[in-house]
A and B are shown apart, each in its own frame.
Chain A
Amino acid sequence: DTAVSQTPKYLVTQMGNDKSIKCEQNLGHDTMYWYKQDSKKFLKIMFSYNNKELIINETVPNRFSPKSPDKAHLNLHINSLELGDSAVYFCASSHASGGANEQFFGPGTRLTVL
């Protein structure tokens, strides 16, 4: 069984469209994250939820909106996509919040905005 799964794996879309990426973890973890990784491998935290509550919201355009329907799911919705949004987006989860807790990452979603 995949511990942290994301769908879709690849997403190609036009500028201005709205898209969503879904994430699910079956590890029973309380904390989930969204990261963005650019072409230079810079891995940047975007959001973190603990028990469905938003606890980290880094400087991210408000076109990005995370939603956590329950502890096992954290989805990312992006409105009005721009060229600069092209990147790989990783979902992750950990037992608790705090950077010292081992994070389990999903396989990533490669978003390409044309």
Chain B
Amino acid sequence: LAKTTQPISMDSYEGQEVNITCSHNNIATNDYITWYQQFPSQGPRFIIQGYKTKVTNEVASLFIPADRKSSTLSLPRVSLSDTAVYYCLVGAKTGANNLFFGTGTRLTVIP
């Protein structure tokens, strides 16, 4: 499994931008980087995916440097409802491998 490393927890005040970084030193050429969000008592849900450079959707942005050994999930102007655990996952479009979620990053948004 291609493993990832993330900070265990982060705190942020409402309205701030939050950046969560994930390290994936062993990323392979065919691997994509996918981020999931998990609210308490729910299953994780997909929020964004990228291969290189920058991807933006209505929820977040994902920044991937040229060497792709890390990635940063950026949440603009967080609100209390963004309090959740965020997981990064590295894997390819095919193949039965690369399903390492780990412990994720627990983001707590403070009023």
Contact = CB atoms under 8 A, between A and B. Distances in A.
B6 to A, nearest CB: 11
A42 B95 contact: no
Between B36, B85, B95, B99, the greatest number of chain A beta carbons within 10 A of the residue's beta carbon is seen for B99
A72 to B, nearest CB: 17
B82 interface: no
B99 A33 contact: yes
Interface string A88-101: 00101000111111
B93 A100 contact: yes
Interface residues of B, number: 33
Contacts of B15: none
Interface in B5-51: 31-32, 34, 36, 38, 41-46, 49
Contacts of A48: 96, 99
A36 B12 CA distance: 29
A97 B95 contact: yes
A89 to B, nearest CB: 10
A99 B97 contact: yes
A41 B103 contact: yes
B57 to A, nearest CB: 13
Interface in A41-91: 41-45, 48, 50, 55-56, 90
Given A40-B103, A41-B103, A100 B43 contact: no
Contacts of B32: 99-100
A43 B96 contact: no
Interface of A: 4, 33, 35, 40-45, 48, 50, 55-56, 90, 92, 96-108
The 9 A-B residue pairs whose C-beta atoms are closest, nearest first, are A99-B91, A105-B43, A99-B98, A43-B101, A100-B32, A55-B96, A45-B99, A98-B94, A102-B46
